[in-house]
């Protein structure tokens, strides 16, 4: 009996340690990020870059809405989230609420997509030529600068982190001016890469970039972004040089440019900046009344804010006009358009060459059905006119009004609608950054 | 095997030789119930201090071989007092057993393969019998039936939606981001309890696209959890192991406790058929109520011209209370159950069929379930082996409505927040619904046209074979092999037809959406144990058990969503935009355990054991994690020195154990999500950074307790104090978003729960005509994060402006924080209740029985955001009252809105305590002599009665029901409310008969 016991126990132990081999767990639900960063292959490069271009669209509706509301371009009414008419109109912005954190995280997620590709290109054992690698680097670094610029526009004087490739060792926050310079240099390095990148990209480009789908034409997009940054910095000479190498076309279509495209198929995203006209209090974008009242008579850009069948009242605000610049939920959304470049051109010239500035302004005014500019040509007058034109040309497109009044120190000019309302200069640093 | 049997046969031959010289012989007799003389079957008769034993047959006759005289025979049976009688020679010994008031002789399961008498147990193991579970009033789901039945649990329904969705928390929060629901085992089969969300709902509600600050794996779609499938009518009893000190032997899946369910088995004897039918209805517990509208309120709150519309509607009597219109239905409930049980000495069976049908309090919602069960038991090889098979098939369908949070204004709850009573929303005679000008959806249309259905087909099959390998006088060895499989297929269907207001392209809608999710899930477990019993001369019993277990899990879920549909088609290919996602899971766990239990004459009982577990979910799949346990109990009343007669039982016990919690599937990896732009497929980083080195959580629990019985155990007291610590807490901690990831998985903290449980049961009266049993439970738990390696982070809420849970070192795990008016973050409350008490009473007067259960939860806060949404919609019932503002200047609605704008979150954290009459039942059994005369013995038991569930609910909470959870059953954020499906009370009439 005792031997039996011993035999049993031995068998048991043997069984326990011997036959109970467990297979290693695998992740069945997607590619691991190390498959890109440790060695990106030719096919994977296309997937990763398509991912970057797709991710750039994540939460842009929150981003555009929040910055547009702060700039009093329109009110965002949502019955299930009263913070749109609360925090964003009182100017008391919370550091841990979605309007601060969601666009911030989304832009940095795209930056992470980009950094993984850059790391993968360095480690790649695939048969890329130097030109092909330069093409990829040039494209993704241009997009990286764009994404970081979006964050910087929101964070303003808080500064941002630029170097974020190691999650355990994030670069420190650098100031607004330093950040702008840093983005400028990222763009110029990317530009050199693009100009050494051969004749084509080794991966597909979506149709929103169809005017920029070769390295040399993509460089025009790069220069356009760099010109925008130069104007923000006040470097007008450099801005003019950059504009001349961009897709600026004084006689061309105001709507040419780079776009985010959308569709309803599969994992593709729809355009969340589209609401039908006469939306209810559940979800609506209502143009600020001053957009209508401050316009010059006959300005066709008022078509961007058509009259509703009935006014909408919510939380002490009443508006009669919808925001309606997209016709459907698959309409493209502009990243940067010729119309903005013309206005940048006007601003870059307004001190040194006011006549040229007025020419540019008139192109915009005429396109909007307005007569030529007849005001003063002193810098202060031209700034007023340019800000006015930017307000109407770039209405509801990326929060330009807020950025513009802020960089000209005119936040106080923004209208306040109810007692207790206020403006904000920037979004707070998200709480989870632990600053 | 054959060798052992051969030896066995030799032993048997040896024993049966008539060697009277060694003073052995047969003792036989008849066992009856001392009260009514009815013969008792299946009474255990054991020769004390040996392994020799038998059971009485269905006539109450027994016969046992006694190897040496004098000996003591122990007669025991569930529900009766154990009797010990000395025999000095072969004789006929007739015994009568008295029904026992308390369950001390009840047997509970310890170890994986052994059971122990409750009186010897070193843990406070809670049991819920069939009578306690479903005997008073039939519950809608099994986990709901556990509310208030035992100490130490916080059981919260996510919403009133039919079909379940319940979180069971035993002894506080066990895990923040890992699995926090207990392990359920049914007849040895490890059953699946996952919640799988349906596709399509979030595409319409866009709840997860908005401002919730939760980790990526929590959904707001209100899915049910799979324990709801089990049929309470089949259950014989449930044992609850509340913490690691009891559950250690279950290892790495047992950190949140183990709930062991045993279903009914057949008994030898005449075949008995039982039939029962219950019919009733449900209705909403509490409605929020309408605001007292005036033309002025209408004009100011809803815009110019609305005042006139209000007055007109008031004048022609067409004001509609839409809340009542939606939630005011009385749903019809019908439960039918037929079961048959019987068998011979060798083979017994139990078969049952149950049909549950329940309509919800909202039209087009409801829950239907059919369950068939067959349990078989067969003894063979001369009663040395036993085979038991349990099979169960369940088919259920639940329609859950479209509720909870959203960012599109489309769920029924949210669209009600902005809809005033003068809105014209009813359909015309052709069934066309008008658009709701006050919101994005017409709640009546959404209720009537939207389908949100979950269908389950489930098979739970288990088998156990135990074989007595050898049996001697003082020792025996048993081999137990068991296996089980739990297979279910879940099909979720969500249909939003084109006609819906928010689906119309002119309103920016998707032109119809149909979504179907299909999940195939199979969990299987296999185990083998050896149990060895050894008795020494002076009645010390050693029980050794050792075993190995293996579990496999596989799940494959595909979710298809198609929008822009053709006409009223709902097939997935009948539309323009098709999207698909798939999730697969494959997991394997394996483990071993050993346990040694020493019982010194039922006076001192000690146990030590060790479990080792490994899982493919860990970074190193073959690394073993060890979970030890040790416990001791001293039955002081059995000692010779004990002379306090008033204390008929006094037991001191202490138990320690460790259990684990493996990382959630996927925590090891950082896997790309897929993207699509312009037809070009892409990969994008996920929200959460994985950790390839992640370790499982370890729980360590120490429990002390005293069990006492007074007055011959007519009054019993049970007191426990426990300290439960969890190390290596797996947190989906916030990460700096500039890294590209919002969250990261990490073992980053420790937490601790301390609490007490106190239970008093008394059999106050027990006469022929009248008896009264009562029980009181009191329990309390406090939790704390004792260590946090990452920075404090918020989870489970909508940001500090509205109130959120926050994980912070030194603070309660379930603390709720929010901004005060000055932008500081302060503690506003805690979701942990101050304490809970239950008061249970059973009265019997002649043939009537009355039972009721009160449940009092004191304290425990909720984050109530429904009020704010109703305020912004200008429809809050209490908008114009002046009870909130301390200065008395602002009305309630204005005060809450003002608080929100001022960034003051205190107004949204509310006390969610309640006092409920959970169950009440009044039954009448037709007297036996009437039945004899009328039915001549064919019908043995007819019972009729009335019962109710949640009939009385007393709470201050300002919404439908304080028991609510927007984020579903896992995680720690039960208690957040955003316009849920309200809970209901039930009232039923019963008829049952036994044949």
Q: Per residue in A311-358, pLDDT tens?
A: 998 888 999 999 999 999 999 999 999 999 999 999 999 999 999 999
Q: How far away is chain A from the Cα of B453, in angstroms, using its nearest Cα? A: 23
The rounded percent of chain A whose pLDDT value lies above 90 is: 82
Is the predicted pLDDT of residue B102 greater than 60, yes or no?
no
- Partner-chain contact A433 B407, CB within 8 Å: no
Is the predicted pLDDT of residue A249 greater than 90, yes or no?
yes
What integer pLDDT is reported at residue B110 of this predicted model?
61
SS3 A273: coil
B410 touches B204 (CB < 8 A): yes
**Which B positions 443-472 lie with beta carbon below 8 A of chain A?**
470
User: What integer is the mean pLDDT of B468-472?
Assistant: 87
Confidence of residue B398 (pLDDT cuts 50, 70, 90): very high
Q: How far away is chain B from the Cα of A245, in angstroms, using its nearest Cα? A: 28
Count how many residues are written for chain B.
995
Q: pLDDT of B705-758, one tens digit each?
A: 999 988 877 898 999 999 999 999 988 888 899 999 998 888 989 999 999 999
CA-wise closest residue to A57 among A114, A113, A110: A110
Q: How far away is chain A from the Cα of B471, in angstroms, using its nearest Cα? A: 11
A137 touches A117 (CB < 8 A): no
Contacts of B213 in chain A (CB under 8 A): 96, 98, 101
Is the predicted pLDDT of residue B177 greater than 80, yes or no?
no
Is the predicted pLDDT of residue B95 greater than 90, yes or no?
no
Bigger pLDDT: B32 vs A219: A219
Tell me the range of A223-232, B190-199, B790-799 where mean pLDDT is highest: A223-232
Cis status of the peptide bond prior to B636, with omega within 30 of 0: no
- The ipTM, to two decimals, is 0.90
Confidence of residue B981 (pLDDT cuts 50, 70, 90): confident
Q: How far away is chain A from the Cα of B687, in angstroms, using its nearest Cα? A: 8
**Which A positions 223-262 lie with beta carbon below 8 A of chain B?**
261
Within an 8 Å CB–CB cutoff, is residue A107 touching chain B? no
**Helix A354-367, helix A338-349: angle, nearest 10:** 150
Residues 6+ apart with CB under 8 A from B934: none
The rounded percent of chain B whose pLDDT value lies above 70 is: 94
User: What integer is the mean pLDDT of B671-698?
Assistant: 90
**Closest CA in chain B for residue A101:** B737
Beta-bridge partner residues of B462? B390, B484
Is the predicted pLDDT of residue B116 greater than 70, yes or no?
yes
User: What integer is the mean pLDDT of B127-150?
Assistant: 84
User: What integer is the mean pLDDT of A132-154?
Assistant: 96
Is the predicted pLDDT of residue B882 greater than 60, yes or no?
yes
Distance CA B111, CA B594 (A): 9
Within an 8 Å CB–CB cutoff, is residue A94 touching chain B? yes
Owner of token pair 């306040």: A416
What integer pLDDT is reported at residue B406 of this predicted model?
77
Using CB atoms, pick whichever of B4, B682, B739 lies closest to residue A167.
B739
Helix (H), strand (E), coil (C) string for A284-323: EEEECHHHHHCCCCCCHHHHHCCEEEEEEEECCEEEEEEC
Within an 8 Å CB–CB cutoff, is residue A315 touching chain B? yes
Which stretches of B106-250 are DSSP H helices? 130-134, 142-145, 201-205, 244-247
User: What integer is the mean pLDDT of B451-474?
Assistant: 91
Confidence of residue B21 (pLDDT cuts 50, 70, 90): very low
Count how many residues are written for chain A.
435
Q: How far away is chain B from the Cα of A164, in angstroms, using its nearest Cα? A: 6
What integer pLDDT is reported at residue B155 of this predicted model?
86
What integer pLDDT is reported at residue B166 of this predicted model?
82
Within an 8 Å CB–CB cutoff, is residue B676 touching chain A? yes
Contacts of A432 in chain B (CB under 8 A): 734-737, 742, 791, 793
Distance CA B83, CA A85 (A): 76
SS3 B240: strand
Within an 8 Å CB–CB cutoff, is residue A412 touching chain B? no
CA-wise closest residue to B953 among B912, B909, B908: B912
B353 touches B338 (CB < 8 A): yes
What integer pLDDT is reported at residue B967 of this predicted model?
76
Q: pLDDT of A193-210, one tens digit each?
A: 999 999 999 999 999 999
SS3 A390: helix
Within an 8 Å CB–CB cutoff, is residue A43 touching chain B? no
- The DSSP result for B611-669, as a single string, is EEEEETTSSSTT--EEEEEEEEEEEGGGSTT---TTEEEEEEEEEEEEEEEPPPTTTT-
What integer pLDDT is reported at residue B67 of this predicted model?
80
What integer pLDDT is reported at residue B145 of this predicted model?
85
Is the predicted pLDDT of residue B873 greater than 90, yes or no?
no
CA-wise closest residue to A358 among A337, A321, A389: A389
Distance CA B812, CA B831 (A): 9
What integer pLDDT is reported at residue A2 of this predicted model?
54
Within an 8 Å CB–CB cutoff, is residue A199 touching chain B? no
What integer pLDDT is reported at residue B49 of this predicted model?
76
Q: How far away is chain A from the Cα of B592, in angstroms, using its nearest Cα? A: 6
- Partner-chain contact B302 A31, CB within 8 Å: no
Using CB atoms, pick whichever of B616, B685, B689 lies closest to residue A25.
B616
Is the predicted pLDDT of residue B12 greater than 50, yes or no?
no
SS3 B201: helix
Q: Which of A16-20, A295-299, B206-210, B443-447 has the lowest mean pLDDT?
A: A16-20
What integer pLDDT is reported at residue A414 of this predicted model?
94
Q: Residue B538 corresponds to which tokens in the numbers above?
A: 């002076």
- The DSSP result for A247-265, as a single string, is T--TTS-TT-EEEE----S
- Partner-chain contact A94 B674, CB within 8 Å: no
Is the predicted pLDDT of residue B279 greater than 50, yes or no?
yes
Mean pLDDT across chain B: 86
Q: Residue B445 corresponds to which tokens in the numbers above?
A: 């249309």
- Partner-chain contact B682 A51, CB within 8 Å: yes
Total-model pTM: 0.84
Q: pLDDT of B929-958, one tens digit each?
A: 888 888 877 888 899 999 999 999 999 998
**Closest CA in chain A for residue B302:** A313
What integer pLDDT is reported at residue B19 of this predicted model?
41
Determine the residue among B668, B737, B744 to mutate to test chain A binding: the one whose Cβ has the most chain A Cβ atoms within 10 Å.
B737
Confidence of residue B14 (pLDDT cuts 50, 70, 90): very low
**Closest CA in chain B for residue A278:** B507
Distance CA B31, CA B41 (A): 8
Is the predicted pLDDT of residue B210 greater than 80, yes or no?
no
Confidence of residue B971 (pLDDT cuts 50, 70, 90): low
What integer pLDDT is reported at residue A9 of this predicted model?
57
Q: How far away is chain B from the Cα of A249, in angstroms, using its nearest Cα? A: 27
B751 touches B784 (CB < 8 A): yes
Distance CA B862, CA B912 (A): 6
Within an 8 Å CB–CB cutoff, is residue A57 touching chain B? yes
């Amino acid at each position: 009996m005792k031997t039996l016991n011993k035999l049993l126990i031995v068998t048991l132990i043997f069984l326990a340690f011997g036959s109970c081999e467990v297979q290693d767990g695998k992740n069945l639900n997607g590619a691991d990020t190390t498959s890109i960063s440790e060695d990106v292959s030719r096919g994977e490069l296309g997937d990763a870059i398509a991912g970057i271009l797709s991710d750039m669209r994540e939460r842009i509706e929150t981003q555009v809405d929040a910055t547009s509301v702060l700039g009093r371009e329109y009110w965002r009414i949502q019955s299930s989230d009263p913070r749109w008419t609360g925090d964003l109109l009182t100017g008391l912005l919370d550091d841990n609420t979605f309007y601060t954190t969601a666009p911030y995280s989304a832009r940095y997620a795209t930056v992470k997509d980009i950094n993984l590709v850059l790391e993968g290109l360095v480690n790649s054992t695939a048969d890329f030529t130097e030109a092909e690698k330069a093409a990829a680097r040039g494209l993704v670094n241009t997009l990286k600068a764009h994404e970081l610029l979006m964050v910087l526009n929101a964070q303003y004087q808080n500064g941002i982190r630029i170097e974020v490739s190691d999650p355990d060792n994030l670069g420190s926050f650098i100031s607004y001016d330093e950040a702008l310079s840093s983005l400028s240099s990222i763009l110029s390095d990317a530009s050199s890469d693009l100009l050494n990148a051969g004749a084509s990209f080794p991966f597909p480009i979506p149709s929103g970039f169809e005017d920029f789908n070769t390295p040399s034409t993509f460089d025009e997009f790069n220069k356009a972004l760099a010109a925008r940054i130069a104007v923000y910095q006040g470097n007008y000479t450099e801005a003019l040089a950059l504009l001349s190498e961009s897709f600026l076309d004084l006689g061309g279509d105001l709507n040419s440019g780079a776009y985010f495209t959308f569709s309803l198929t599969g994992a593709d995203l729809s355009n969340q900046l589209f609401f039908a006209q006469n939306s209810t209090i559940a979800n609506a974008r209502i143009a600020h009344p001053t957009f209508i009242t401050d316009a010059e008579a006959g300005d066709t850009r008022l078509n961007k804010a058509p009259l509703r069948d009935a006014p909408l009242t919510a939380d002490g605000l009443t508006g009669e006009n919808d925001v309606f610049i997209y016709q459907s939920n698959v309409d493209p959304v502009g990243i940067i358009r010729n119309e903005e470049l013309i206005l940048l051109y006007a601003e870059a010239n307004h001190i040194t060459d006011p006549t040229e500035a007025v020419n540019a302004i008139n192109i915009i005014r005429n396109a909007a059905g307005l007569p030529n500019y007849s005001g003063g040509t002193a810098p202060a007058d031209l700034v007023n006119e340019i800000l006015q034109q930017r307000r109407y040309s770039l209405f509801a497109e990326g929060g330009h009004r807020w950025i513009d009044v802020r960089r000209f120190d005119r936040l106080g000019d923004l209208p306040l609608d109810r007692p207790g309302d206020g403006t904000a200069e920037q979004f707070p640093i998200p709480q989870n950054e632990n600053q | 095997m054959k060798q052992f049997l051969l030896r066995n046969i030799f032993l048997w031959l040896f024993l049966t030789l008539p060697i009277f010289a060694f003073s052995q012989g047969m003792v036989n007799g008849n066992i009856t119930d001392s009260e009514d003389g009815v013969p008792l079957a299946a009474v255990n008769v054991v020769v004390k201090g040996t392994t020799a034993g038998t059971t009485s047959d269905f006539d109450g006759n027994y016969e046992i071989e006694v190897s040496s005289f004098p000996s003591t025979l122990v007669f025991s049976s569930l529900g009766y007092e154990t009797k010990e009688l000395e025999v000095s020679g072969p004789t006929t010994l007739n015994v009568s057993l008295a029904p026992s008031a308390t369950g001390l002789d009840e047997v509970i399961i310890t170890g994986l393969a052994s059971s122990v008498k409750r009186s010897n147990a070193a843990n406070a193991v809670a049991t819920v019998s069939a009578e306690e579970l479903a005997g008073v009033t039939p519950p809608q789901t099994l986990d709901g039936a556990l509310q208030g039945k035992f100490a130490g649990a916080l059981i919260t329904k996510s919403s009133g939606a039919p079909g379940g969705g319940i979180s069971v928390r035993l002894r506080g929060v066990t895990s923040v981001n890992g699995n926090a629901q207990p392990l359920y085992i049914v007849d040895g089969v490890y059953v699946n309890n996952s919640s799988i969300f349906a596709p399509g709902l979030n595409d319409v509600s866009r709840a997860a696209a908005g401002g919730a600050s939760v980790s990526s794996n929590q959904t707001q779609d209100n899915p049910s959890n799979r324990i709801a499938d089990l049929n309470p009518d089949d259950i014989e009893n449930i044992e609850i192991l509340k913490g690691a000190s009891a559950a250690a032997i279950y290892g790495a899946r047992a950190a949140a406790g183990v709930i062991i369910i045993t279903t009914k088995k057949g008994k030898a004897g005449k075949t008995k058929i039982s039939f029962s039918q219950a019919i009733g209805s449900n209705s909403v517990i509490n409605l929020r109520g309408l605001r007292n509208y005036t033309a002025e309120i209408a004009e100011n709150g809803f815009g110019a011209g609305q005042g006139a519309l209000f007055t007109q509607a008031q004048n022609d009597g067409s004001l509609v209370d839409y809340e009542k219109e939606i939630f005011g239905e009385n749903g019809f409930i019908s439960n039918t159950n037929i079961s048959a049980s019987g068998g011979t000495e060798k083979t017994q069976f139990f078969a049952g069929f149950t049909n549950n049908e329940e309509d919800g309090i909202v039209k087009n919602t409801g829950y239907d379930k059919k369950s068939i069960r067959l349990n078989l038991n067969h003894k063979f090889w001369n009663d040395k082996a036993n085979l038991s098979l349990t099979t169960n098939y369940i088919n259920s369908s639940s329609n859950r409505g479209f509720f909870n949070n959203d960012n599109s204004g489309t769920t029924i709850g949210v669209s009600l927040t902005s809809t005033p009573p003068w809105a014209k929303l009813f359909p015309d005679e052709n069934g066309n619904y008008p658009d709701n000008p006050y919101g994005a959806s017409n709640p009546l249309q959404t209720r009537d046209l939207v389908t949100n259905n979950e269908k389950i087909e489930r098979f739970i099959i288990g088998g156990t074979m135990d074989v007595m390998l050898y049996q001697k006088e003082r020792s025996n060895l048993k081999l137990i092999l068991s296996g089980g499989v739990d297979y279910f297929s879940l099909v979720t269907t969500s249909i939003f037809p084109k006609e819906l207001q928010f689906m119309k392209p002119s309103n920016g809608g998707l032109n119809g959406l149909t979504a179907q999710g299909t999940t195939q899930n199979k969990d299987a477990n296999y185990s083998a144990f050896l149990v060895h019993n050894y008795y020494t001369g002076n009645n010390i019993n050693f029980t050794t058990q050792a075993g190995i277990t293996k579990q496999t899990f596989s799940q494959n879920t595909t979710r298809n969503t198609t929008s822009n549909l053709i006409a009223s088609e709902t097939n997935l290919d009948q539309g323009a935009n098709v999207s698909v996602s798939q999730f697969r899971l494959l997991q394997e766990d394996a483990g071993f355990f050993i346990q040694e239990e020493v019982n010194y004459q039922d006076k001192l009982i000690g146990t030590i054991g060790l479990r080792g577990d490994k899982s493919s979910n860990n970074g190193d799949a073959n690394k073993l994690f060890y979970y030890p346990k040790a416990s001791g109990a001293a039955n002081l009343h059995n000692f010779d020195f004990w002379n306090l007669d008033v204390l008929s039982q006094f037991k001191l016990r202490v138990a320690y154990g460790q259990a684990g919690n493996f990382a959630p599937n996927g925590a090891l990896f950082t896997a790309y999500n897929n993207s699509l732009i312009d037809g070009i497929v892409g990969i994008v980083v996920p929200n959460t950074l994985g950790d390839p080195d992640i370790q499982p959580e370890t729980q360590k629990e120490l429990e002390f307790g005293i069990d006492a019985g007074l007055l011959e155990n007519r009054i019993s007291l049970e007191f426990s104090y426990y300290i439960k610590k969890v190390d290596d807490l797996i947190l989906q901690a916030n990460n700096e978003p500039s890294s590209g990831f919002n969250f990261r998985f990490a073992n980053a903290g420790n937490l601790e729960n301390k609490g007490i449980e106190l239970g008093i049961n008394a059999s106050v009266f027990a006469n022929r005509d009248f008896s009264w049993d009562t029980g009181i439970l009191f329990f309390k738990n406090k939790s704390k994060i004792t260590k946090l390696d990452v920075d404090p982070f918020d989870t489970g809420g909508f940001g500090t402006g509205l109130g959120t849970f926050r994980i912070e070192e030194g603070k309660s795990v379930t603390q709720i924080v929010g901004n005060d008016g000055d932008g500081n973050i302060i503690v506003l409350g805690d979701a942990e209740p101050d304490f809970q008490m239950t008061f249970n009473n059973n009265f019997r007067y002649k043939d009537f029985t009355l039972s009721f259960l009160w449940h009092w939860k004191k304290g425990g806060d909720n984050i109530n955001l429904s009020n704010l949404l109703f305020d912004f919609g200008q429809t809050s019932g209490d908008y114009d009252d002046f009870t909130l503002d301390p200065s008395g200047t602002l009305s309630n609605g204005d005060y809450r809105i003002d608080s929100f704008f001022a960034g003051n979150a205190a107004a949204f954290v509310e006390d969610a305590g309640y006092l409920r009459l959970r169950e009440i039942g009044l039954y009448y059994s037709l007297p036996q002599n009437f039945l004899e005369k009328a039915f001549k013995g064919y019908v043995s038991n007819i019972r009729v009665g009335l019962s109710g569930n949640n009939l009385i609910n007393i709470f201050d909470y300002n919404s439908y029901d304080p028991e609510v959870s927007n984020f579903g059953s896992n995680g720690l954020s039960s208690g957040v409310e955003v316009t849920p499906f309200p809970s209901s009370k039930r009232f039923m009439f019963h008829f049952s008969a036994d044949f």
